[in-house]
Amino acid sequence: MAEILARSLIGGLFVTAFALVSAMVSPKRFAGIFSAAPSVALGSLTMTLATKGGQAVEAAAIGMAVSAVAMLAYCVVALPALGRFGALRGAGLAVLAWALVAGVGAWVIL
pLDDT in tens, 57-89: 999 999 999 999 999 999 999 999 999 999 999
The structure's pTM equals: 0.71
Alpha carbon separation from 15 to 18, 38, 48, 71, 97 (Å, rounded): 5, 8, 17, 22, 30
Q: How far apart are CA 67 and CA 61, in angstroms?
A: 10
Q: How far apart are CA 74 and CA 92, in angstroms?
A: 10
Sign of CA dihedral 25, 10, 53, 32: negative
| Residue 62 near residue 109 (C-beta atoms within 8 A) | yes
